[in-house]
Structures are given as structure tokens and as C-alpha cells.
Amino acid sequence: MSPCELISCVDTAWLRMDRPNNLMQIVGVLMFDGQLDEAQLRASLLYTLSVQPRFHQKASLEGGEYYWRDDPDFDLDQHLKRVILPGKAGKEELERLVADFASTPLNHQRPLWEMHLVDTSLGGQALVVRFHHAMGDGFSLVRALLTMMDDSPTPASRPQPEPITGDHDDDEQDAHQGSRLLRAGLKLTGTLWSKYVEVLTHPTKAMDYLKTGRDVTAELYTIATLSDDAKTRLKGETGSAKRVAWSEQIPLPDVKAVGRVLGCSVNDLLIAATAGAFRHYLLAQGDEVDGIEIRTLVPVNMRAPDDKGALGNRFGLVALDLPIDIAHPLQRLHAVRDRMQALKSSLQPAVVLNLLEVMGMAPRAVQQQAIDILSAKASAVITNVPGPQQTLYLAGARLRQPLFWVPQAGDIGVGVSILSYDNKVQLGLITDKKRVPDPELIALRFAVEFEQLLLLVLMEPDLLYDPEMLDQLLHG
């Protein structure tokens, strides 16, 4: 019998979260200088398959529970393919290809990932990758991809993958035993879930729970009673067609230097620049921004420092209100910094991770209802994944720029991915075509917003808060 593993409750929640208008896929593009050696690429993939079993396992529903089970018909050619871009094979054609993949479901009869080697006119080949979110989150999947990489053009020698053989009845018995133990240990989590549902359906109960003074209950109350997000073109009924774009790379040392002067983290600066880009886009569309804030869901990595790199989803979420109503870039930055600092000290990420775990055990209809409630409270997802800061190579080719796009649930129409690599940082944007058909306008503005903050740092400190002088400098 093939080896299997019970899919965790959190991963089950992501597996069942697919909708035709919002697929739970993490899509990426790895841009290279020159051509990849296909034989070396296959060898690197086979090594990854040997150390990450999830890459040769498919999700199987058996007796009402989901398992990761080895695919007896696994064929690497079904997962690694070549694609020819039409026309000039440039950035626009590549963006359309990525958007098509983001709108196309993965084959659930096979392991839930694909890679497509693409010839481009951008100075080298690109590798378009996509993984179902049930396999893992951005933190773990980026780390898994790094097992394929080398720190020089000459690939490092890797041990040959060992074939999986033997009797695995004990594995399956352990998986079922794990299921029973998991269900037996959900008393606390189930209580938390029942409180959440009760607060949603009977708001007066919230005061009873708050009287306990417990931090977890307070965070649960905060999440459950968040108002629906402001109505802007960034949120609403979505369709199946997506659009993607990415910004120019910004030197990471510049971002760190600006952060030190302004007393902000790199994450604060990048999120504030994103907020400014949203503000500029909405104003350009003739939309109202005065008194408007848009709420974003920001993933928080919940892995322990000694985590061994196993795939899966181990992150919580915090709900961050972006102050797009603030025109002054420095004031906007300080507002983002203060709000992020408050969220960092909260239990909100742990509470959300706990809720996701219970959603994976709830009936699908109940899970979907909960997702609809949560997604109504936000307009975008913003994730920041720190990548390696040294130059990497794959199959003899230099990795020039990695890009990733995160999925959105419910009627959230915008996903923002910030990824640093090789002392540079860039923004990737995925949008619903019905909501934002031209995400490149937001991506282009991202670098401009950071340049404004850089300009402020170069000014005399006394001028930073002079609105009249600031307006002259920023607008000529």
C-alpha cells in the first residue's frame, strides 16, 4: 500500500477553499539570465521530490478525511512542461500567460503543482511555477524551491534520490491514529470556534466574553466584530479572469537606510509605499479617498525558529487598515508603523490560525460561510516573504528576479506579494480583471512612492513636516 499522511486541518481548509473566481494557487515566475540546462533542471527537481514527499503526493478524499497519498502514476513530464509565448515573447505576453495560469485550476488527480519553462525575449528563460496553497504557504514553498538552487553556475552534487519501497501499513495506521488524537485534542479549539460563531450571530454575547478579561477572547471579539471593509473598486463580485503585474526592483540597502532614518522597519516602508500606490490609483480613476481606509490581511509566519522546512501552512493573519486617506507620505508611513506595532503585540495571528484549523474540520458549507464573513472584512492580501540575499543559480542559469502572487479568498480582488532577493525588493500584484483591469499602474507607482520617502530623508529634518515646502518638492 502506498505511503500516506493525514492532511492537517489547516491544509484541509485551504484545499477546500477553491472557487472558480478565486483559486487557491500560489503562482510564481523565476526570471533567469540565459538558458537553463533541462537535464540539470530535471535532476534538481528529482532531488526536491526525494526530500519533499508532497511533490509526488496527491490529495485523496477517503472516508470523509483527506490524505496526502503517493501518486502511483507520477510522471515528471506531467508537471514540467515547455511553453512558447506568442508575439514578441516580452513582458506583456509573459504577464498574460501567468494570468491564464492563475485562472486555470490544477489537476486534482495529480500532485498539485506544475512548472512551465518559457522562452522569452527578456534576456533569458523564465520558469513559471504554481502550487496549490494546501501544499504549503509562501514561506515553506520558497524554502522548498531553494533546495533546487545552487550558489554558483556549477550545480552542486546532490545525493541520488532513493526509491520508496516496503510495507507502509504502519504509516497508514499512524495516520488514522493521528486523526483520532487530533480530534480528541480539539476541545480548546472547538470552544474557541463556538465562541466565534456565537459572537457573530449574537453580538450581545461579546460583552459576556469580554468580562473574562482573557486576551484570546478579546482578540476573537476584535476579529468577529470587524466591520465590512469600505466599498471601493478593489473589492466586490469577482470573476475568473485575473491580471498580474510587477514593479521594478528597488535596492534593499536603500530601503533599510531610509527605514533607519525614519525609525521604521523595511516591512513598514514597503506596506506604506503600497498604500500610496493604491491611493494614487484610486484618485486617477476619479474615486473618493477622503475618509477612506482599506483593510488588508497580512500573513504572519508562525513557525518555530528550529522548524525543519516541512511543507504545510503555519501562518496567522492580522487585519491592517491602510490609511489611503492620508496624503502626506511620511504621515502615512507613521500611521502604518504604529498600526503594525500594535498588531505585532496582539494574539490575532494565533487566533486566526486556530480558526483556520477548526474550519478544516467543519463541514464544507460551514467553512465557506466563515470564509465569506472573513473576506467581507478586507479588500486585499499583502504578504512579505524575505528571500535569500545572495545570487542563486538553477540548472546553470543565474536567477535574476523571482516573483510570486498570492491567492485571495471570497470576493477579495487584490493580492500583493513583496519578495526580497539578492539585495533587491519588488512588488508583485494580482487582481481580478473585473475590479482592476490595469494592475501595472499600481505596480509602476510602487517605486515612485518609495522614491518620495527617499527624497524626504535627503531633506533637512525641519522641512519634513512643512506641508507647503513638501508639496513644492513632491509636485515641482
Q: What is the pLDDT of residues 61-98, one digit of tens each?
A: 998 889 999 999 999 999 999 998 999 999 999 999 99
d(CA 136, CA 112): 11
Which pLDDT does position 219 carry in this prediction?
60
d(CA 402, CA 392): 11
| Contact in structure between 395 and 36 (CB atoms under 8 Å) | yes
Q: Which of 142-151, 254-263, 271-280, 402-411 has the highest average model confidence (pLDDT)? A: 271-280
> Which pLDDT band holds residue 381 (cuts at 50, 70, 90)?
very high
Which pLDDT does position 470 carry in this prediction?
56
- Whether the predicted pLDDT of 221 surpasses 70: no
Which pLDDT does position 167 carry in this prediction?
40
d(CA 373, CA 362): 15
Q: What is the pLDDT of residues 312-338, one digit of tens each?
A: 988 888 889 999 999 988 889 999 999
> Which pLDDT band holds residue 268 (cuts at 50, 70, 90)?
very high
> Which pLDDT band holds residue 453 (cuts at 50, 70, 90)?
confident
**What cell numbers appear for 360 in the block?**
478544516
| Contact in structure between 412 and 379 (CB atoms under 8 Å) | yes
Which pLDDT does position 83 carry in this prediction?
92
Which pLDDT does position 209 carry in this prediction?
43
Per the model's pLDDT, the better-predicted residue between 388 and 193 turns out to be: 388
Which segments within 222-379 are labelled E, that is strand? 242-246, 250-251, 294-301, 315-322
Out of 17-31, 90-104, 240-254, 361-375, pick the least confident.
361-375
Which pLDDT does position 185 carry in this prediction?
39
Q: What is the pTM of this model?
A: 0.83
Q: Which amino acid is at 61?
A: L
* Long-range pairs, 305-309, Cβ under 8 A, ≥24: 309/140, 309/143, 309/144
Which pLDDT does position 47 carry in this prediction?
86
Helix intervals (H) in 325-424? 329-344, 348-359, 364-375
Using left for φ > 0, alpha for ψ between -120 and 50, and beta otherwise, residue 152 falls in beta
Which pLDDT does position 172 carry in this prediction?
39
d(CA 136, CA 143): 10
> Which pLDDT band holds residue 348 (cuts at 50, 70, 90)?
confident
Per the prediction, the chain carries an average pLDDT of 82
Per the model's pLDDT, the better-predicted residue between 146 and 55 turns out to be: 55
Per the model's pLDDT, the better-predicted residue between 473 and 423 turns out to be: 423
| H helix or E strand, kind and range, residue 35 | none
Per the model's pLDDT, the better-predicted residue between 67 and 409 turns out to be: 67
Q: What is the per-residue burial (b if ≥16 Cβ within 10 Å, else e) of 69-101?
A: bbbeeeeeeebbeeeebeeebeeebbbebbbeb
Which pLDDT does position 359 carry in this prediction?
79
> Which pLDDT band holds residue 117 (cuts at 50, 70, 90)?
very high
> Which pLDDT band holds residue 186 (cuts at 50, 70, 90)?
very low
